[in-house]
Structure 1
């Protein structure tokens, strides 16, 4: 199954700082046509051979390149030790709405590890795509992905849905989903194939703790921990107080109908 990325390949930077890593980086660029390889100047020949026409080299410290990489790319694939990369990027982190998706791959190409912005930043999807291309194992540590359940902040993304909720509301709903608490999913609009097209791929059934409804008014609000509401209409005023703090609303494109 092809995994859809939330950004084009042209917005992906591949960084490697060793000769063997650069050879693997060439395979990554080949798997993601349009991606760019960045390597130290001393490895210019190796970089150009690994990724003809898609390689750039830099002088100075790798850490000095992080601000430009964060500013110009949505996805970063680093063939660097995980610990070293944590130290390199730590001073430049902002929040998950702004930080790029960062994936670490070991030099042997055995593991693809999303280390930053797994959901909104697309690192989990990028790791899954790289794992397919390289025959690697994706190491997913976010609860919704490791348990193959619904990612509240990703629902309908490939379908163009936009979610409306505060950070705390997303956190509460996400916790309810992964902790097997009762969650109501109400679909009044949008494409019905949101589950098979869900980010990172889902092949099993919808989790048992997520009960589906066709109208918000059908839900017994006292019996659920959170409500995921897919609709074009405004929230009925009389329901707003009862749903405060536990509602995530999704707005599909109007052309997806009711």
Structure 2
């Protein structure tokens, strides 16, 4: 990820140096009046600007995959609000307090990678990642991220993703059918999981084994085309994952 690290105070810039060191291809953006501090903190990765930090937001949104802001959470919300488009297009935004105690994903936690970025920063800074998305807070399956680290492609409508995600976090019965791909996806899932699978998830080896009416949602990991007899019955409540061949 191309990361912009934004800091607007001397203490924030000093911390930003540690953030830049922890993130490959990260660049520090700081006010011109702190050019010396920025250069000391991040060397050649430091860039300085004239004027207000808010004026930099459009260019940062366009040029970077993620933004780490060492700025108050409320200020960041106000700065980015006019520029939001969609979770598919917006960059990941993480706020870190000046003391380096907390890393808080603010925008694009899942698809944009802000949750994973916050987790990485927490490890690098000895901080706490404050994850508020339900699947991460409860360490359950994030339906829209399953297998992402393994190169699995997801096939589902927005409505199917919403339905299956809701079933997962609300502890409704979910069938997870794995017919293909690596079985080592739980520990490597999203921000990393340990312990057993969620109690509401039942695993199957073939989709024909599933008593369809007993499950609110189906997560199907396969190279196959959905059997015609099941396609209509699963409409609206199945997400398909395609591992690499």
Structure 1 position 233, deviation (Å): 1.1
Structure 1 position 208, deviation (Å): 1.2
Residue in structure 1 matching 2:55, options 52, 64, 69: 64
Structure 1 position 61, deviation (Å): 1.5
The aligned runs of 1:45-124 (5 Å cut-off) are 45-124=36-115
Task: Give RMSD over aligned pairs.
Answer: 0.8
CA distance in 1, matches of 2:169, 2:87: 19
1:191-212 CA-to-partner distances (Å, cap 9, x unmatched) read: 1101111110101111111100
Structure 1 position 118, deviation (Å): 0.5
Residue in structure 2 matching 1:168, options 149, 152, 159: 159
Structure 1 position 102, deviation (Å): 0.5
Structure 1 position 33, deviation (Å): 3.0
Secondary structure (helix, strand or coil) at the match of 1:53 reads helix
Matching residue of 1:202? 193
1:195-231 CA-to-partner distances (Å, cap 9, x unmatched) read: 1111101011111111001101111110000000001
CA distance in 2, matches of 1:72, 1:186: 39
Matching residue of 1:142? 133
Structure 1 position 34, deviation (Å): 2.2
Structure 1 position 180, deviation (Å): 0.6
TM-score under structure 1 normalisation?
A: 0.93
CA distance in 2, matches of 1:246, 1:60: 50
Structure 1 position 139, deviation (Å): 0.4
Residue in structure 2 matching 1:229, options 206, 220, 225: 220
Residue in structure 1 matching 2:236, options 236, 241, 245: 245
Secondary structure (helix, strand or coil) at the match of 1:119 reads coil
Structure 1 position 167, deviation (Å): 1.2
CA distance in 2, matches of 1:100, 1:147: 24
Structure 1 position 168, deviation (Å): 1.4
Secondary structure (helix, strand or coil) at the match of 2:93 reads strand
Number of positions where the alignment pairs a residue of Structure 1 with one of Structure 2: 245
TM-score under structure 2 normalisation?
A: 0.98
